[in-house]
Structure formats: structure tokens, C-alpha cells
Amino acid sequence: MGKFCLALFSALLLYCSSYSQETIFKITQTYFRSDPFGKEFSSFVSHLLNDPTLTNKITEKKTDSTLFFFQGTYTTHNPFFFKPKRVEVILTETPVKLDSLTTDTIYTYQLLAYNNDTKEGVQELKKEFEKICRRYKGGFFKSTFTENPWESKSGSGGMYIFFDRFHAVAPFVLGWGGPDENKEMCLILTIRMDTYNNQAILPVPFYAP
């Protein structure tokens, strides 16, 4: 009976986790040119690093002292309802402290859309931010909002962190703000993910079968 209950619980958790990933699937399919959930993770990384529509590529391979980092600028990819000044993508390994003794690494996958710091540019970013929030907020267990999280006295912006019921790390973060040193505003979509058997999954489940 004990083994049966454990198997049933594992199956239920797998179903709930799979269901909760559907919103993340929709986000990556809609906004990211290279989809980490649509294929094996190694194929996704290869597609991203060798994407011919990316320029200004920066690749730092993982070593004993540094984690993997990749950045590039798209020449044609624009999934938004406005025309950004430029769109960049970043994939990097990020350390995550699980408890006082354990530190793991996950992948942070970001899409960044830049606009000029003008009245029109700010309105376009904010409108896109609000549209994305309305569209996907209902697909997460809960969310928190912080106004101007970058604490810039002269800037503006906001950030939503979206949580999943069964995972310790929030899988989606949506933010906008600025201006930066280049007098640009930025909209940032952040996907946090882990890998298991060469597949992308939501990061750090509370229960691992």
C-alpha cells in the first residue's frame, strides 16, 4: 500500500507540474525564437548559439571557476506589438542557494527589448508589459509586484515575479524600467529553468521522485 501511495503521489505531482508548465510553454513559444521546451535541451542550446539571425554574440564556456554565459542581438526577431530599438537574448547559468549548505545552478533565459527614453518609448514598453501580465498572470499560482525595483530615483518601472505551487524558484519574471546609462528603457522577460534527462523543466521542485 505504501508503494502504491508513493507512486500515486508521484504521478499526481507529475501531472500538476506538467499542467503548470503550460503557461511557460506558451510564453517561450510566443516570444522566444529558440524554445527550450520544444526539443532536447542540447538541441535548444545548439539552435540558440548557431542562430544566423543573431549578431554581436558573446559566449563564455563553463569552467571550474565560471558559469556558462551567452548573449546576442537579433537582427529580425521581434515578437512584440511595438518596434523596439533592438532585441537581445541572454542564456546563463545562475547559482541558487537551496538551503544553508546546498547551492545548485539553474538556467536563466532572458529576452530584452530596448526603447528610447521618450514619452512614446516609455508608453510602448509599459503597454506591452501590462498586456503580457494580463495574458499570463492567471496561469500561475501567485505573483508579487514591485514598483521601480531598481531603486533609481530618476527612473521608473515595475517587476512581476510569478510563482508555481510545486517549485521553489519562480519560473517567470516580467519587468520593465530605466533609463540606463545609454538613456534607454528596457522590457525584460525572464524564464528560469532546470534540466532533467536533457529536457528543460521548471526549476527546483519541492519533491523529486
pLDDT score for 209: 46
Q: Does the pLDDT of residue 1 top 60, yes or no?
A: no
pLDDT score for 152: 60
Q: Does the pLDDT of residue 7 top 80, yes or no?
A: no
Calpha distance 106→136 (Å, rounded): 23
Q: Does the pLDDT of residue 93 top 60, yes or no?
A: yes
Instruction: Indicate the pLDDT class of residue 104, thresholds 50, 70 and 90.
Output: confident
Q: Does the pLDDT of residue 6 top 90, yes or no?
A: no
Calpha distance 194→105 (Å, rounded): 8
Q: Does the pLDDT of residue 17 top 70, yes or no?
A: no
Averaged pLDDT of the chain:
88
Task: Write the single-letter amino acid at 20.
Answer: S
> Global pTM?
0.88
